[in-house]
């Protein structure tokens, strides 16, 4: 009996040491549901904690999905912590709270659980959050991801350590923990929902895995070994991708990454895929990415369409903008049409952009003409109607400076490589029905400054609007 106890503790200590999960003086939040796995984890951590001077705080979340059974679990964990002399942090969700979040109920519960654990960790300034995933959980996860068509990253399984999250019992089989808990007389509760085959993980564990074990009794170990090999391959590709990322990332924001499409096409497809997966990790805590997503991304990178997009999980989107690829968590919003009178002379603020148009009247002679796209010059005497700015409308045309004939604004934006999703935000300076200037993009031939122009209207965008791959054409300067 004692031998079984020491075998379990020795194995868990070896896992903790191998992956550098804990160090002396750490504060650890232990996720405790009350089941066999989490109660075994709590008791082992409590024992190890005394040796390493580690502070243990148990955290339990009542999801409110199983009525009185959920309340029972909450009270059980609370009493168990009091018996062990450990701090207990319990949280309870309001009835129906998870359902209101939309999507899969299990996924919503999982997301909320992680949020609560991180909140408690912040409260106690904890260094680590210990989760009770076992070797069997690992095997089930790999099989479940295989069935769903996961990428090789997903098939590498659950990492023993990811950020503050550690999994000390990830190399212990569930039957070993059940034996340990029984021999040590450690109390636990049973979650009745674990017996329901309506959840995919339960269905695999209860129905599919027993069938496969007829052909391979060591299925758990086989799947885990496979995940280890894939993990090693993945870590090698990750290292290569991390070395390339500075060359590929054009811009990095809190909710956006913009990648150099041309550089991506020069890489091996496997490395391009790994850059994609690493980019998602930067923007999202979890990577529920499957082969179909990776293949779609590679097609966007190498395809002929200069304006294509892909929707992923957790609100992530991939948008190609000519020679750049934007990966973003920004919600897709339809810009509202706008129209506003321009103060001449004076300042006109462009609502919601932080930019403004500054109109100034200059007398001849004037020679300091800016050679950039942020400023446009007009013959002030030719201005007969109020000027205004508005958003683009279907079929809009203008007479580009130096061209002579009319051209669709859409064609001008394509030539200037203006991404489709921001075209509706570009202000159009108008005079009557005529478009004088697509601000910071291209100005019109109309109302141009001539040699006999006496007074010049200068309109400047401050600060200048900037668009992907946009180059100044210098149009609009006086002759």
Give the residue among 130, 55, 66 at the shortest CA–CA distance from 92.
66
Q: Per-residue pLDDT tens, the chain, 479 aa: give them.
A: 456 667 888 999 999 999 999 999 999 999 999 999 999 999 999 988 888 889 999 999 998 888 899 999 999 999 999 999 999 999 998 776 777 665 677 778 888 899 999 999 999 999 899 999 999 999 999 999 999 888 788 888 999 999 999 999 999 999 999 999 999 999 999 988 888 888 889 999 999 999 999 999 999 999 999 999 998 988 898 899 999 999 999 988 888 889 999 999 999 999 999 999 888 888 875 556 778 888 888 988 988 777 677 777 667 888 887 788 888 887 666 668 889 999 999 999 887 667 889 999 988 766 655 556 788 999 999 998 899 999 889 899 999 888 778 899 988 888 887 777 778 888 999 999 999 999 988 889 899 888 888 899 999 988 877 654 333 333 344 44
The predicted structure's pLDDT at residue 303: 84
The predicted structure's pLDDT at residue 363: 85
The predicted structure's pLDDT at residue 466: 66
**Domains of the chain (ranges plus CATH)?**
2-132+167-215 (3.40.50.620), 226-328 (3.30.465.60), 339-462 (3.50.40.10)
The predicted structure's pLDDT at residue 475: 38
The predicted structure's pLDDT at residue 342: 92
The predicted structure's pLDDT at residue 468: 41
């Amino acid at each position: 009996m004692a031998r079984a106890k020491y075998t379990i503790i020795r194995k868990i200590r070896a896992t903790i040491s191998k992956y550098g999960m804990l160090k002396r003086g750490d504060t650890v939040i232990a996720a405790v549901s009350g089941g066999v796995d989490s109660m075994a984890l709590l008791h082992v951590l409590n024992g190890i904690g005394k040796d390493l001077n580690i502070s243990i705080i148990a955290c339990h979340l009542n999801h409110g999905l199983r009525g009185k059974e959920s309340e029972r679990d909450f009270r059980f964990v609370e009493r168990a912590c009091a018996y062990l002399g450990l701090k207990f942090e319990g949280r309870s969700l309001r009835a129906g709270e998870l359902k209101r979040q939309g999507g899969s109920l299990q996924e919503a519960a999982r997301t909320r659980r992680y949020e609560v654990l991180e909140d408690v960790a912040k409260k106690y300034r904890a260094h680590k959050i210990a989760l009770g995933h076992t070797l069997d959980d690992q095997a089930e996860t790999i099989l479940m991801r295989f069935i769903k068509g996961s990428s090789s990253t997903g098939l590498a399984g659950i990492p023993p350590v990811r950020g503050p999250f550690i999994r000390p019992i990830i190399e212990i089989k569930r039957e070993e923990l059940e034996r340990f808990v029984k021999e040590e007389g450690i109390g636990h509760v049973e979650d009745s929902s674990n017996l329901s085959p309506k959840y995919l993980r339960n269905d695999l564990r209860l129905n599919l895995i027993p069938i496969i074990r007829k052909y391979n009794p060591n299925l758990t170990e086989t799947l885990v070994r496979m995940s280890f090999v894939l993990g090693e391959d993945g870590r090698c590709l990750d290292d290569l991708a991390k070395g390339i990322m500075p060359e590929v990332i054009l811009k990095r924001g809190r909710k956006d990454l913009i990648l150099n499409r041309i550089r991506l096409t020069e890489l091996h497809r496997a490395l391009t895929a790994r850059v994609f997966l690493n980019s998602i990790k930067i923007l999202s805590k979890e990577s529920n990415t499957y082969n179909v997503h990776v293949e779609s991304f590679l097609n966007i990178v190498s395809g002929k369409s200069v304006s294509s997009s892909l929707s992923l999980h957790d609100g992530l989107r991939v948008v190609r903008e000519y020679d750049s690829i934007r990966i973003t968590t920004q919600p897709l919003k339809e810009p509202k049409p706008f129209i506003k009178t321009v103060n001449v002379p004076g300042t006109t603020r462009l609502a919601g952009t932080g930019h403004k148009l500054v109109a100034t009247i200059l007398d001849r002679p004037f020679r300091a003409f800016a050679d950039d796209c942020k400023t446009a010059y007009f013959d002030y005497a030719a201005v007969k109607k109020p000027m205004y700015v508005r958003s683009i409308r279907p079929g809009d045309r203008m007479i580009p400076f130096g061209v002579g004939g009319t051209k669709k604004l859409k064609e001008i934006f394509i030539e200037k490589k203006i991404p489709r999703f921001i075209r509706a935000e570009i202000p159009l300076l108008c005079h009557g029905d005529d478009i004088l200037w697509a601000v910071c993009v291209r100005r019109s031939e109309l109302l141009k400054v001539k040699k006999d122009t006496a007074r010049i209207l200068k309109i400047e965008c401050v600060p200048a609007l900037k668009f992907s791959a946009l180059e100044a054409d210098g149009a609009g300067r006086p002759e």
